[in-house]
Amino acid sequence: MFMYANKTALITGASSGIGEAFAFSLAVRNCNLILVARNETKLKELAKELSAKYNVKATVIVLDLSSPGAPQTLHLEVQKQQLKVDLLINNAGFATYGYFEQISGERQHEEVMLNVAALVDITHAFMPDLLRNRDGGLINVSSTAAFQPDPYMAVYGATKAFVLSFSEALWAENRKRGLKVLALCPGATETSFFDVVGSSEASVGSRETPQTVVKNALKAFEKGRSHMISGRQNYWVAQVSRFFSRQTTLNIVERTLRPQN
Ligand SMILES: NC(=O)c1ccc[n+]([C@@H]2O[C@H](COP(=O)([O-])OP(=O)(O)OC[C@H]3O[C@@H](n4cnc5c(N)ncnc54)[C@H](OP(=O)(O)O)[C@@H]3O)[C@@H](O)[C@H]2O)c1
């Protein structure tokens, strides 16, 4: 089990989608929140709604986490406000889609900075907080894209494979130190994600709601699981690489994700 009441959770990418769904689910459990993203208006509206409805403290920190030094700025801001983080949810992330050389190099650099570098730096900065009471939590949002290379989403798939590997390693390092670590691996989910990608061709299978993903995630987190693939269909999609050779898997995924135009 994990006791959420009167603890503080920091959620990156809290202004929409899965991050916003985490914010609601944790507020219902009486957990105070630190909401981080770039969209100040959305974050402030969310904080207002959550504190009014659930009587929790919701702090807003507006930051572009892909910019250099942002994780350190975030940590300093949290310290300045004399807050301690018990549960860290590294959720902010985005994907790019298409032939690698045709996608902006700057955008793919931003993708690595946000999905990987910021996630590692934020985790490192808050680790002493998470470990201090032998009762902390870390949820890193990976993806079913992590289980095999993803042609046409080469950078995204690699960032999410990193998140899965990194999180599972931390799960093993910390399981006897009172810190629960979960790599959350959703499949296609009904959020702004595909609008940001700019194509729904990267969407495989039916989409889950962010509320379902978060419900499944919290259940797995409380059980102390190291990773969780949300949804039965997504579970089987993620097993393809276990049943076929690496090359056959690549061919299957290449055909599935190949742009139609
Ligand atoms: N939806 C899916 O199908 C799916 C599947 C597997 C995994 N995931 C993963 O789930 C996570 C959440 O995505 P989502 O589906 O909920 O998509 P979303 O609705 O687009 O949410 C993305 C969140 O990340 C924030 N964000 C983006 N760039 C940022 C930056 N530079 N600095 C700070 N915050 C930033 C966005 O807020 P601002 O724009 O306000 O900054 C937003 O709150 C991502 O890591 C994604 O890779 C999604």
Return the closest-CA partner of residue 147 out of 136, 158, 139. Answer: 158
For the stretch 53-70, pLDDT in tens is 999 999 999 999 999 999
Q: In percent, how much of the chain has pLDDT > 70?
A: 100
CB hemisphere CA count around 178 (13 angstroms): 12
Q: CA distances (Å), 67 to each of 31, 60, 70, in order? A: 29, 18, 6
Nearest CA to ligand 1 atom 8: 143
Q: In percent, how much of the chain has pLDDT > 90?
A: 95
Mean predicted confidence (pLDDT) in 114-141: 97
Tokens of 147: 């289980």
For 172-175, which contacts have Cβ atoms below 8 Å and span 24 or more sequence positions? 172/226, 174/131, 175/224
Q: Is 156 noted as a catalytic residue in this protein? A: yes
**Helix, strand, coil share (%) of the chain residues, nearest 5:** 50, 15, 35
For the stretch 15-30, pLDDT in tens is 999 999 999 999 999 9
C-beta of 196 in contact with ligand 1 (< 6 A):
yes
Nearest CA to ligand 1 atom 45: 93
For the stretch 35-45, pLDDT in tens is 999 999 999 99
C-beta of 94 in contact with ligand 1 (< 6 A):
yes
CA of 17 to the centre of ligand 1 (A): 7
Local confidence band at 202 (pLDDT 50, 70, 90 cut-offs): confident
Strand partners, 137: 87, 180
Separation between Cα atoms, residue 127 and residue 28, nearest integer Å: 25
Return the closest-CA partner of residue 202 out of 117, 144, 137, 159. Answer: 144
CA of 196 to the centre of ligand 1 (A): 9
CA of 7 to the centre of ligand 1 (A): 24
Can you give the pTM of this predicted structure? 0.98
Cα angle: 9, vertex 13, 15; to 5 degrees: 95
CA of 93 to the centre of ligand 1 (A): 4
C-beta of 188 in contact with ligand 1 (< 6 A):
yes
Is pLDDT above 90 for 1? no
Best mutation site among 67, 94, 196 for ligand 1 pocket (most ligand atoms within 8 Å of CB): 94
- Whether the CB-CB separation of 228 and 183 falls below 8 Å is answered with yes
Strand boundaries in 117-221, DSSP class E: 136-141, 179-185
- Whether the CB-CB separation of 11 and 36 falls below 8 Å is answered with yes
C-beta of 38 in contact with ligand 1 (< 6 A):
yes
C-beta of 137 in contact with ligand 1 (< 6 A):
no
C-beta of 159 in contact with ligand 1 (< 6 A):
no
Is pLDDT above 90 for 204? no
Which residues are CB-neighbours of 242 under 8 A, at least 6 positions away? none
C-beta of 141 in contact with ligand 1 (< 6 A):
yes
Q: Compute the chain's Rg from CA coordinates.
A: 18
CA of 248 to the centre of ligand 1 (A): 30
Tell me the H-state helices in 55-115.
70-80, 105-112
What ligand 1 atom has the least distance to the C-alpha of 160?
47
Write down all domains in the chain, each with its CATH number in brackets: 8-257 (3.40.50.720)
Tokens of 138: 């870390």
Size of the chain in residues: 261
Mean predicted confidence (pLDDT) in 159-186: 98
- Whether the CB-CB separation of 240 and 144 falls below 8 Å is answered with no
